[in-house]
Structure 1
């Protein structure tokens, strides 16, 4: 059900040092190592229901907000959060937070949406084939004054935040945020890297169409 439009296979490592900003790049593929964790405490119905109902169930099941899940992930794995998605696997809901840690390693950290506890994490392996895409994302994030947590807070008035991701199309430098309303309608927003201003993501088309979540 999650819409992941960012260059996740080419994610960037951004280290913010004091008042300055140092940017390095780490690229990841589907391989992983060092995984650990347990099941989420939140169960939802995601089988045999409409997309809108599943969206509603996920949003209602997330007692822990996106920004709090990101904060929990960063406390467990220090670094820079570059994305967070609320997703369900066999009816178990989880926040999946992407963090770039020390050594330019990309960590996938799972956070329980019911308790805020970290369930586990694993490290993705590097893939240099996507270095070009990663460099573009790195350029977009360099000097950004708005974090993933900030973006989630900024868009929270629009609905339940279910996804936050860094995005760069070569000219627009924004966080992409997805919200879900009480009736399961999804809407996409842009949060400016610098100002934190929230605007409608017109490039997403009709975000309320249940058919474009796949």
Structure 2
């Protein structure tokens, strides 16, 4: 009777402290077997916790370029840039060189281009700088003319591509005279490229995309 009382006390101490207490009682095999089973169950629970932590660490949806440093989408960045610098947005790129900002290129009504930087977590305008290198670029003027007559602008193209994944870049592409929006997306760690029609706004995967 006294031996059973000691074993019960040791078992209660083990459960209260979370530790392991070894109890040896001569001639009491049932108590020893019960203790071994409790230790085994505790070890299995610890192993399950470790496995769960590993699964979270290996989540493929966590991609650095997929707006890991903020929550502002490409469409929201374009809208913020146009509010600050009115004109026609022709591209938006999530800068991954360490600056952590959206860079939106806006062409004003007089043909001048501005690079507007947007914070990826607040839509705050970090700065706007005129880009003098491309103001008189013939290809850019042709693309801009096509966009002005289009039914889909850069923001709408970004929204269309967002159905395919997280948009990290939107721009224009002139393929043998056929101008279309292009968009880069990331989904479950996979990068894809899309073309978005200027008239219908329908995204189709780029045939040149590997």
Shorter-chain-normalised TM-score: which range?
A: 0.5 to 0.7
Distance (Å, rounded) in 2 between the aligned partners of 1:109 and 1:66: 13
1:187 to 185, 192, 197: 192
**CA shift digits 1:58-88 (9 cap, x unpaired):** 2122310000000000000011100000012
Structure 1-normalised TM-score?
Answer: 0.64
> Which residue is equivalent to 1:166?
172
Aligned runs of 1:55-134 on 2, under 5 Å? 56-59=63-66, 60-89=68-97, 91-125=98-132, 130-131=137-138, 133-134=139-140
**CA shift digits 1:171-204 (9 cap, x unpaired):** 4331000001132x2100010000001101112x
Q: Are the equivalent residues in 2 in contact too, given 1:84–1:164 (CA < 8 A)?
A: yes
Q: Which has the higher contact order (CA 8 A, sep 6+)?
A: 1
Distance (Å, rounded) in 2 between the aligned partners of 1:174 and 1:130: 18
Q: CA deviation at 1:111?
A: 0.1
Q: Are the equivalent residues in 1 in contact too, given 2:111–2:135 (CA < 8 A)?
A: no
**CA 138–73 in structure 1, closer or farther in 2 if over 3 Å, else same:** closer
Q: CA deviation at 1:143?
A: 1.1
Which structure has more helix as a fraction of its residues?
Answer: 2
Runs of 4+ more than 3 Å apart: 126-130
Larger Cα Rg: Structure 1 or Structure 2?
A: 2
> Which residue is equivalent to 1:196?
201
Q: Are the equivalent residues in 2 in contact too, given 1:73–1:111 (CA < 8 A)?
A: yes
Distance (Å, rounded) in 2 between the aligned partners of 1:73 and 1:92: 17
Q: Are the equivalent residues in 1 in contact too, given 2:113–2:135 (CA < 8 A)?
A: no
**CA 128–100 in structure 1, closer or farther in 2 if over 3 Å, else same:** closer
Paired residue total: 149
Give ranges in structure 1 of 5+ residues lacking alignment.
Answer: 1-52, 207-214
1:153 to 152, 159, 163: 159
Which structure has more strand as a fraction of its residues?
Answer: 1
Structure 2-normalised TM-score?
Answer: 0.65
Instruction: Kindly report the root-mean-square deviation, in angstroms, between the aligned alpha carbons of the 2 structures.
Output: 2.0
